Structure 1
């Protein structure tokens, strides 16, 4: 049986939203919420918080999950994305690596469990990741890239462009190290709802996500008693 490890990456110094991973969020914090959700996912064998933050390590210990104390270089802006992903693979003892950033607090338990089942059963793809469908009139370098401006379609008829939202990603550890990326050469995508796709990256994202979380998660729990 292959071991599946959920890795929660936490960097101490977030730049756009100060301390967004650990600051108060809807009566808790994003790290605690992520750990709580992952502990409910069937198929995950271990949860590891990969971090340079002592506060994050304290939370991991209090919640009964593992941690890896990240070296300073891999928590710095000098570290490239490829170096970081390769490092995560090298320091994680697992067969299947699940990338689980705290900035996606709305990914459903059933979405993650469906992803795990699909990844275990299929061998035609080397990774599985959640995506959002974008239907926007998109331009790059002064040119339309997904429609003809001289024959513009209705927005609903634009092509379905899938954008990685990084809510939940699975990849074999060996492929993570080989590709130095959580996305392999033959990816499979799971489309999420707009709410699940929310990724907290700016102060506005943080504010909006907290309001939605209070309305959709906390109030629902209160109604259930």
Structure 2
């Protein structure tokens, strides 16, 4: 018989530093009456699968908004981990080091710049993790345009070798499907994350969770934000 003590415990981490060069204060920018970060906090809470939903930030203002929305902010992120050079792995490892990581079977990394990712997406991604007995699950979506129709240009912009001849004679619908990371969901075995120091674990137990393009907007620029506003207004 399975008891509550033996059930897996999952933790969600939402990274939200104050600095943002391309879109100033983007994590607090208001999107449909809520700060951008609130949409991710609310989705994580609604998923109802996490023992804790924690925001990692260096900003007291962001921390205040996060707590009001229902997330934990146990401490502010040190300045050394809030620079442009700080990596998600460094931030995740530092946070786990203070939280007795052995308590949590998985770490789910939810970037606030993906406000259209839903609670249902989070639950479905975790179901994939469970069903596939995975070590990590990462969200993707189909590429908007085939990368086979992309290439590099020389300084004079000559397109002679831009794409292969066998490709430029095909219709787009006849090309194979390609998928890209959408930045919305990263689920990783906590122990293996600490061991390998990566969200992309080695081995054959890493799987994709596919999301539709309309829920895969990753906000880095004002154009991304405007597009998200449009999708919100139309329903997603």
Which residue is equivalent to 1:15?
21
Structure 2 residue 52 is matched with structure 1 residue 46:
yes
Instruction: Give the structure 2 partner of residue 148 of structure 1.
Output: 164
Q: Which residue of 1 aligns with 2:8?
A: 2
**Counterparts of 1:158 and 1:90 in 2: how far apart (Å)?**
46
Question: Deviation of residue 88 (structure 1)?
Answer: 4.4
RMSD: 2.1
Contact 1:171 1:182 in 2 (8 A): yes
Q: CA deviation at 1:44?
A: 2.0
Q: How does 1:40-119 map to 2 (within 5 A)?
A: 40-67=46-73, 68-92=75-99, 93=101, 94-119=104-129
Distance apart, 1:104 and its partner CA: 0.6
Are 1:176 and 2:193 an aligned pair? yes
Partners of 2:37 and 2:178 in 1: how far apart? 30
Instruction: Please tell me whether residue 138 in structure 1 is matched to residue 155 in structure 2.
Output: no
Total equivalences in the alignment:
214
Change (3 A) 1:151 1:105: closer
**Number of the residue aligned with 1:204:** 223
Residue in 2 aligned with 1:189?
Answer: 208
Change over 3 Å in CA distance of 1:158–1:33 after alignment to 2: same
Kept in 2, the 8 Å contact 1:9–1:100? The answer is yes
- Corresponding residue for residue 3 of structure 2: none
Quick one: distance in 2 between partners of 1:43 and 1:81?
22
Give the TM-score normalised by the residue count of structure 2: 0.82
CA contact (8 A) 1:127 1:184 kept: yes
Q: Secondary structure at the match of 1:195?
A: helix
For residue 66 of structure 1, give the secondary structure of its aligned residue in structure 2.
coil
Rounded to whole Å, the distance in 2 between the matches of 1:140 and 1:132 is 23
TM-score (norm 1): 0.85
In terms of mean alpha carbon deviation, does 9-18 or 127-136 score higher?
127-136
For structure 1, list consecutive stretches of 5 or more residues without a partner in the other structure: 218-225
Q: Distance in 2 between matches of 1:213 and 1:62?
A: 23
The correspondence for 1:129, drawn from 138, 145, 150, is 138
Residue 81 of structure 1 deviates from its aligned partner by 5.0
Larger radius of gyration: 2
**Structure 2 segments unaligned to the other structure (5+ residues):** 1-6, 155-160
64 and 110 in structure 1: CA distance in 2 versus 1, 3 angstrom threshold: closer
